[in-house]
Amino acid sequence: MQRPLRFGVNMVTSESRSRWVEKCRRAEELGFDVIGVADHLGLPAPFPAMIVAAEATERVRLNTFVLNTAFYNPVLLARDAAGADQLTDGRVELGLGAGYVRAEFDAAGIPFESGGKRVRHLEHTVTTLRKLFADPDYQPRPAQPSGPPLLVAGWGDRLLKLAAEQADIVAFAGGGAVTPGGPVRLADEDETAERVAYVDGLLGDRAGEVEFNLLLQRVVSREEWPALADAYAPALPPSAADSPERVPTLLIGSPDEAADRIRELGERFGFSYFTVLENSMEQFAPVLARLR
């Protein structure tokens, strides 16, 4: 049985407080279920931004999409996440990743470790959060009994294995870096099917309990795509060079076509939670309305 669809928007631009409040209220007005806050240097710190978003809205959930856990001490992160959940009356989802932008590690003076070491730190973070939130004496006490749901995002075997074993939500990145710390190449449908099947095979008794998320990189009409094609060409897989609309993370077409595509992705791959980037928020609104 397919889960009800959920839709998130990931905010990535840094502006004034009044503009941030305006954008969050607009996302809720458009019908989005989740407001995500990216975790990159040069952008607002995620937890303060989430608290302000909660004060400005009434029903949307707030998500870190996603924290670079290499930058966080797990015990201190637990305090921030639990405190944010408490102060938002249980509206927090905690999105976690291993970190991938080498330049940000360099700027922060933090070693850019191997993928294996970054995933091990993420695993340590997840197990620490689970342990602390399960302790009835833990303070600050999160509003949600087991703490905020954990979303783990990635694409490679080690990270998706961790997500399958530990996460409440598996977020499929929709592609991976060709070289460590390098640019991301988007995946085609066959590669996406393989990644989903890999996770499905690891879920075991958790099958049906875990939500699948997909981050949509762009939502555009067919008329708008030619102006963007050159910018996206380096990220396209060879199999989709002439048919970019078949890349699962690119939503190209009319609102009706896009809504049909979302339904197809849900039925074929099991995605029920779709996140768009802020620059596609308004473009996705009529698609969301059709899917409601």
CA atoms within 13 A on the CB side of 221: 9
pTM: 0.96
Tens digit of each residue's pLDDT (9 = 90 or more) over 34-81: 999 999 999 999 999 999 999 999 999 999 999 999 999 999 999 999
Q: Is the pLDDT of residue 191 over 70?
A: yes
User: Which whole number is the average pLDDT over 248-262?
Assistant: 98
For residue 30, what pLDDT is reported? 98
CATH number of 6-291: 3.20.20.30
Do residues 38 and 65 touch, judged by C-beta distance below 8 A? yes
For residue 15, what pLDDT is reported? 86
Using a pLDDT cut of 70, give the percent of the chain over it.
98
User: Which whole number is the average pLDDT over 91-119?
Assistant: 96
Domain residue ranges in the chain: 6-291
For residue 179, what pLDDT is reported? 63
Query: What span, in angstroms and rounded, lies between the C-alpha atoms of 130 and 148?
Result: 10
For residue 14, what pLDDT is reported? 77
For residue 73, what pLDDT is reported? 98
Residues 6+ positions from 265 with CB-CB distance below 8 Å: 214, 248, 271, 274
CA atoms within 13 A on the CB side of 229: 13
Tens digit of each residue's pLDDT (9 = 90 or more) over 208-239: 899 999 999 999 999 999 999 999 999 999 99
Using a pLDDT cut of 90, give the percent of the chain over it.
93
Tens digit of each residue's pLDDT (9 = 90 or more) over 19-43: 999 999 999 999 999 999 999 999 9
**DSSP notation for 138-185:** -SSPPSSTT-SPEEEEE-SHHHHHHHHHH-SEEEE-SEEESSTTS-EE
Query: What span, in angstroms and rounded, lies between the C-alpha atoms of 288 and 14?
Result: 25
Tens digit of each residue's pLDDT (9 = 90 or more) over 274-284: 999 999 999 99
Q: Kindly indicate the confidence band of residue 180, based on its pLDDT and cuts at 50, 70 and 90.
A: low
**Residue 274 forms beta bridges with which residues?**
7, 214
Distance separating the N- and C-terminal Cα atoms of the chain: 18
